[in-house]
């Protein structure tokens, strides 16, 4: 049989997702590791391609729902005023707004626009709903918003608070740096 039960004495940190060994001692991570690893089954991924495709399809469907929930949550804050350094519904700056909306879904992001830019992966194929869009408004990545789709994004504007803008508006188009993806995609 292609699968084998992992030895109860093998620590979690010695097995990664590919089944290869690592040296660190997992007992320091959690007291439950020994019990969990005693039930760990290591399998060959090539024999389960159909299951992986079904799993990936389920992840994609959940990711789409997460993106929809994310954009819905972001739009709830329309009209909230801009506050430099703001991270609450009483007032946001751009990165505080993005950080707050993602935190509502359990996703922890860095605090500043430039750190959020470094955190994500490039949005290959253009931005999708839920991606972050970045702009150079005063030297380097300095503004961020959440892409909604159809060229629109929601962000905390220093002059209008939380609002929806379009990437094709001359101000934003000339300052656009790119989009980063934080949610899994196919």
Residues marked active site are found at 94, 143, 155
Largest CA distance in the chain: 65
Closest CA to 156 of 54, 78, 90: 78
Three-point CA angle 178, 184, 186, nearest 5°: 95
Q: Is the dihedral of CA 84, 85, 91, 92 positive or negative?
A: positive
């Amino acid at each position: 049989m292609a699968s084998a039960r992992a030895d109860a004495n093998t620590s979690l940190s010695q097995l990664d997702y590919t089944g290869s060994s690592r040296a660190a001692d997992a007992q320091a991570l959690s007291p439950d590791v020994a019990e969990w690893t005693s039930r760990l089954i290591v399998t060959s991924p090539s024999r389960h391609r159909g299951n992986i495709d079904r799993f990936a399809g389920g992840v994609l469907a959940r990711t789409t729902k997460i993106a929809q929930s994310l954009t819905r949550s972001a739009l709830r804050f329309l009209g909230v005023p801009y506050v430099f350094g703001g991270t609450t519904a009483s007032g946001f700056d751009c990165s505080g707004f993005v950080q707050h909306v993602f935190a509502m879904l359990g996703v922890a992001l860095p605090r500043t626009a430039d750190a959020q830019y470094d955190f994500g992966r490039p949005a290959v194929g253009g931005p999708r709903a839920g991606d972050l869009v970045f702009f150079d408004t005063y030297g380097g990545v300095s503004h961020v918003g959440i892409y909604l789709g159809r060229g629109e994004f929601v962000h905390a504007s220093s002059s209008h608070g939380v609002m929806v803008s379009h990437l094709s508006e001359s101000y934003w188009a000339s300052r656009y740096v790119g989009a980063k993806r934080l949610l899994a995609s196919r």
